[in-house]
Amino acid sequence: MNADPKNGTPKTPLYIKVGDLKVEFHSGCCILDIGFPNTISVEIGEIHFKNYYTYALSLKARRRGDSSEPASEAKWKTCLRNMRLMPHPHFETGSQDYFTISRKQLSYDLCNVTGLRFILRQPSPIWKEFKIEDLKFCKTSETKPVSLPSWLLKPPRPIDEEDREIKGAPPMETLSNHLQQMWGLGEQAATNSTQNALGRFDVDGSYEINLLSYT
Amino acid sequence: MVKAVLAKVIENRPEDAVAFLADYFENFGDKPNKISQAHQQLVLTHHSRPAFEGNVRAAYDILSQFRVSKSLQGLNGVAYTELLQLICSGFPEDVKEKLMKKIGCRDNEVVPFNVFRAAIFTCFVLQDYIKQAEQLFHALDIQKTGTADKVLCETTLNQLFLAVSSSEHGIDTKTVLDAAYSLGPDRLYLALNKAVVSPARGSRGTTTCDEFVISAVDSFLLKVSPLT
């Protein structure tokens, strides 16, 4: 997975709190706008962030070339609808957890993004301050699916236990047992080997001319 | 002194504590030669136990006081080789030779701890491996004559060699599965059947235990990386 974290720069740290705080009305809703002014073509595979007492999150994105009008105001399309981060808004669970939004959870591909809008909601009056922190965007490439070996996909006809005897040879199970243990011991030797070099100069038993020095 | 030996018993947890204590006190009185002291540390417990790591460290510390010359002190190739020879004293000569080619150190080289540790582990794992190979040989030697059919031996070892060489470039789930499958009873039967029905030329005859073990060790040594 080529995760290339690039930090989308917020246009301004825009935590728009809807509603007038002076009147003691906490709307419980907060908008976080992310802009990508420096990069031209933005493709987002994954979004990582740390929650801070946000109950639910919706994500809208604005893509270039989405709307037919050439005007600069492209439409915001919801790509993640109401993802719940905390199971109970009044309680602490999930309030400071790390989350990852992967491609599978989004409604459409995030390519050519010009702007992202996180809509955070926290209806509980207990948590007056809420936000998401440590936003990171990653571009992931497809991992090559490892193919199963052919003998698993199309198992050959199993040989009956009675037929598996060879004249003059011990039962296959015993042999197999011993061989597998020996193989295991060999692997143990491999894991115990060290990369530490002794600092030898010779290559295959003889010295390399260039490494010998005149003193 | 009793405190020390009890601490050792708790750390190493031998199966037969009385025999362990008897051995310990017997060797305690011997002339303190650094090499035999280090060797004694290493045989206190089996290499798969976690206490073995501590014992390797203790052995290295003992050997670090080895006097090379009047002013020089430390673990050099001479002591290292002597210790390895002591550990491998039960092995067949050919095996010892092949092993030293891979992990031997020259007399004047300094042996750092990582190299020492890797070599000690290799020797002890090889000891277990040789025991396994001998048991395998006795399994193949059905009539208990001391020799086994060459075709069977060669084919069996060949299967092992194939399994070992396929996982040479690092281990992951797929290689483990492949190796386990190729060493399973079904595949073994197919390979042995094929070999018995149409043996390769020059494969008739019998093999002795030593020859068998020596060929088996080749597969093992594939996994041991040589020192640079």
Residue A153 touches chain B, beta carbons under 8 Å: no
pLDDT at A125: 82
What confidence score (pLDDT) does residue A63 get?
Answer: 77
Q: Are A34 and A135 in contact (CB under 8 A)?
A: yes
State percent of chain B over pLDDT 90.
0
Residue type, B112: P
**ipTM score for this prediction:** 0.76
Spatial contact of A36 and A42, defined as CB atoms under 8 Å apart = yes
**Residue for token pair 């798969």:** B48
pLDDT of residue A61: 84
Q: Among A174-183, A196-205, B37-46, which stretch is predicted with the lowest mean pLDDT?
A: A196-205
A1 touches chain B (CB under 8 A): no
Residues of chain A neighbouring B77 (CB-CB closer than 8 A): none
According to DSSP, the residues that pair with A60 across neighbouring strands are: A78, A117
* Cβ–Cβ below 8 Å for B136 and A159: no
Angle at B38 between CA B32 and CA B43, to 5 degrees: 120
User: In angstroms, what CA-CA distances link A43 with A75, A80, A140?
Assistant: 18, 16, 9
- Rounded to the nearest angstrom, the minimum Cα separation between B139 and chain A is 6
Q: For B17-41, how does the pLDDT look when each residue is reduced to its tens digit (9 = 90+)?
A: 777 777 777 766 555 677 777 777 7
Tens of pLDDT, residue by residue over A17-60, are 554 444 456 667 777 777 776 666 667 778 888 999 988 888 88
Measured CA to CA, the distance from residue A17 to residue A154 in angstroms comes to 60
| B179-198 residues touching A, CB cutoff 8 A | 179-181, 183-186, 188-190, 192-193, 196
Per-residue pLDDT at A2 exceeds 50 = no
Give me the pLDDT at residue A147, please. 67
Hey, which of B69-78, B169-178, B180-189 has the most confident mean pLDDT? B180-189
> What average pLDDT score do residues A156-180 get?
70
Q: How far is B118 from chain A (nearest CA, A)?
A: 5
Confidence band of A3 (pLDDT split at 50, 70, 90):
very low
- DSSP at A157: P
* pLDDT (tens digit per residue) in B209-226: 888 888 888 888 877 777
CA nearest to A56, candidates A115, A109, A106, A130: A130
Q: Which residues in chain B are contacts of A143 at CB distance < 8 A?
A: none
User: How close does chain B come to A209, measured CA to CA in Å?
Assistant: 17
DSSP A123: -
B101-160 pLDDT, tens digit per residue, is 888 777 777 778 888 888 888 888 888 888 888 888 888 777 777 677 777 777 777 777
Instruction: Take residue A57 and report the two structure tokens written for it.
Output: 């999150």
